[in-house]
Structure 1
Amino acid sequence: MKRILITGASSGIGLEAARLLACSGHPLTLLCRTPERGEQTRAHLLAGGATSSQVTCRVADLADLRSVQSACDQLLDRSEPLDALVLNAGQQRAGAAAPVWSPQGIEITFAVNQLAHQLIATRLLPLLRAGSQPRVVITASDVHNPATGGGRVGQSADLGDLSGLRAGAGFVRVDGHDRFDGDRAYKDSKLCNVLLGRELDRQLAGALPVIAWSPGLVIPRSPEGFFRHNRQSNPLGMALFAAVARDVLRVTESVPSAGRLLADLITDPGYAQAGFSYWSNRLVRPGVHRFSAAQTSAEGADMKKAGELWRLSEALIRRALASD
């Protein structure tokens, strides 16, 4: 039995993984965007067979660093060890021509996908160290890598010299350029996730598994969750893209399959090797995926950049919380 904390468990692969884990008897702490989402998620899991004592939902709006800090403080006050920290939440605003800003004035894709997760990892590390055979699982994506199919479409991920991040809150892109592209912002954030895992593993001196992974292209049929912003901004285009990708080209992975992979990464002894690893659920032919260990991009393996990204992000978080 593992005590597991998961972000992004209110929909999609996170919700499916939570359902599987609850059915296996694992106690779950789920960070949810609003009280209403928490209640809906808990009700869904209880209806699926989870017991009342198994599922705890706490409010943490990952777009708001103050909300994330508050949730972490509550968990630290309880001092209950964690056996798995699952940094799974994410958002994408493909097609957006202008940035949306977090309450702290940070481009929201970076705020949610990267900064919030670094804050959680930093604050809750004592609970993880106190856990039994603990591990960290980070949902990244192959789009971080320009050599992959998804990574080649449109602008490729590239953090440059991190000059945007060096400038502090208000940067449009991490590399310092001021031309926003929602798809590029997502790719950059996934590259940041890979580097987050690299640096976290370095700080832990390889003492426990730090797993970054790519679930493949997963398009839930639900209007909520990961693609909700894309559906809101371009509902017809998103519906057409989903239908072609899922039903014609057959390049997508299903929520149940990807959710099962995530649940396995969290609990399966086969993924218990200490140190950083990257796993990819890659399409090998239409309708068929293969899940295996893979190499990250060269930039995703740059330990100097991983350390600098962590340091600059930590400084940004500190300043944002101090001035908020």
Structure 2
Amino acid sequence: MADPASQRVLLTGGSSGVGFEAAKVLSVQGHELTILCRNQATADQTLSQLTGSSRALICDLADLDAVDAVCAQLLGSGTALDALVLNAGLQYAGASEAQFSAQGIELTFAVNQLAHQLMAMRLLPLLRKAARPRVVITASEVHNPSSGAGKVGKSADLGELEGLRAGAGFAMLNGSPGFDGNKAYKDSKLCNVLMARELVRQLDGVMPVIAWSPGLVITRNSGGFFRYNKRGNPLGMGVFAFVARDLLRITESPENAGRLLAQLVNDPEITPGFSYFTNKVVSFGGHRLEPTDTSVEGADLRKAEELWQLSEQLIGHSLSR
């Protein structure tokens, strides 16, 4: 499925997990990678394991000022961008107390959604310069309350975005009291799907915008994904990982998921417009990537537009402080 032509790819979350495995595949294929890393040590370690034309830029996605600065750097170069891969994600599972970004925004939403929307907003001119540009967004089936994982605990539900409407400082997007780290992650993945929908509308369908679910990916060391999980239940998470990965075999390996992400970056047969793919379990330990319907809320174009507009306002207010 790979397009042999070298592409210029910007990848978030490329220093660990699925993103790192995708970066390895893409670099071997000869694509020019730009990977955003939180610090120089992470950048050096990542680049040492890649081949070809790869570079790293330092950017903490939990800081909108840092994201804005790296976008300005990229725009200043004027180099066309063939693929924008918005893959980074964090979850502080089991947390009952919200944590906040440099701009005072709940951390899950700040990293998983706001930072990526800011990048999409700012870097569209570079995508428009490319002959066959695309955007790939790593979402998750947990966005869908009818999916297996989506049914565990509280379901994704943005309500009328009451929390976001209140501005920075909200804990939950729907304005519900208290904080639930697992629901916040599900909500952020629903936001990713809606962001993809709204991008297609704004672009009049001129390029593929692909949202996808890699399946349940659990590594032996999930330090990157759970790096903010200070108050979770390590023993419970370990037991869950053992049962899901080693007994039920419903999980996907980071290596296979990374190959699928690279495939979505390369595949010339994906047509312009919105696409959603799920890496589904089809047999004991087997998976297949296939087009899938999103949740009902994930197909709400009115909510997608409202989410984008409210997020854009929050970004603008945060950067102007």
Match of 1:203 in 2: 202
2:233 paired with 1:220: no
Contact 1:9 1:30 in 2 (8 A): yes
Offset of residue 232 of structure 1: 7.1
For 2:7 and 2:216, locate their aligned partners in 1 and report how far apart those are by CA, in whole Å: 28
Aligned partner of 1:101 in structure 2 is: 100
Aligned residue for 1:270, secondary structure, equals coil
- Say whether residues 1:13 and 2:18 are aligned partners: yes
Aligned to 2:36: 31
When structure 1 is superposed on structure 2, of 234-243 and 287-296 the one drifting more is: 234-243
- Per the alignment, residue 125 of structure 1 pairs with 124
Q: Which amino acid aligns with 2:283?
A: R
Supply the RMSD in Å over aligned alpha carbons.
Answer: 1.1
Q: CA deviation at 1:38?
A: 1.1
**What do the CA deviations read for 1:7-51 (whole angstroms, capped 9, x no partner)?**
000000100000000000000000111121111111121xxxx13
Q: Secondary structure at the match of 2:288?
A: strand
Worse overlay, 288-297 or 303-312: 288-297
After superposition, the C-alpha distances for 1:49-108 in whole angstroms (9 at most, x for unaligned) are x13xx1110011111101101111111111110000000000011100100000100000
Determine the structure 1 residue equivalent to 2:3. none
- Count of residues paired in the alignment: 316
1:301-320 superposed matches below 5 A: 301-320=299-318
Distance (whole Å) between structure 1 residues aligned to residue 91 and residue 137 of structure 2: 16
CA shift digits 1:204-259 (9 cap, x unpaired): 00000000000000011224321334487433222222111100111100111100
- After TM superposition, list the pairs within 5 Å mapping 1:49-68 onto structure 2: 50-51=51-52, 54-68=53-67
Unpaired runs of 5+ in structure 1?
A: none
Query: 2:95·2:231 contact (CA, 8 Å) conserved in 1?
Result: no
The offset of 1:292, in angstroms, is 0.4
Q: Is the 8 A contact 1:83 1:131 kept in 2?
A: yes
Distance in 2 (alpha carbons) for counterparts of 1:168 and 1:229? 22
Higher helix residue share: 1
TM-score by length of 1: 0.95
- What residue identity is the alignment partner of 1:22? S
Find the aligned partners of 2:143 and 2:218 in 1 and give their Cα distance. Answer: 18
Q: How far apart in 2 are the matches of 1:142 and 1:281?
A: 9
Paired-residue identity, %: 60
Instruction: Give the secondary-structure state (helix, strand or coil) at the position aligned to 2:120.
Output: helix
Equivalent-residue separation in structure 1 for 2:292 and 2:105 (angstroms): 32
Residue matched to 1:159: 158
Unaligned ranges ≥5, structure 2: 1-5
Measure the CA separation in 1 of the matches of 2:220 and 2:227.
11
Q: Is the 8 A contact 2:93 2:232 kept in 1?
A: no
Match for 1:17: what amino acid?
Answer: A
Residues 105-146 of structure 1 show CA distances to partners (whole Å, capped at 9, x for unaligned) of 000000000000000000000001101200000000000000
Give distance in 1, aligned partners of 2:250 and 2:101.
Answer: 33
- Asked if 2 retains the 8 angstrom alpha-carbon contact of 1:163 and 1:175, the reply is yes
CA distance in 1, matches of 2:230, 2:11: 24
Q: How does 1:160-199 map to 2 (within 5 A)?
A: 160-199=159-198
> How many Å separate the matches in 2 of 1:101 and 1:191?
20
Residue of structure 2 in register with 1:143 after alignment? 142
Hey, what's the Cα distance between the residues in 2 that align with 1:117 and 1:95?
24
Q: Report the secondary structure of 2:11's partner residue.
A: strand
What is aligned with 1:283? Answer: 281
Distance 2:199 2:132 in 1: 16
Question: For the residues of structure 1 that align with 2:280 and 2:228, how far apart are their CA atoms?
Answer: 25
* In structure 2, distance between residues paired with 1:160 and 1:252: 30
Matched AA of 1:210? V
On the 8 A contact 1:145/1:191 being kept in 2, the answer is: yes
Partner of 1:100, secondary structure, is coil
Alpha-carbon separation, structure 1, partners of 2:99 and 2:318: 16
**Is the 1:230–1:238 Cα contact (8 Å) retained in structure 2?**
no
**Aligned amino acid, residue 76 of structure 1:** L
Q: Which residue of structure 1 aligns with residue 7 of structure 2?
A: 2
What is the TM-score of this pair, normalised by structure 2? Answer: 0.96
Q: Tell whether the 8 Å contact from 1:219 to 1:227 is kept in structure 2 after alignment.
A: no
Whether contact under 8 Å (1:223, 1:231) holds in the other structure is no
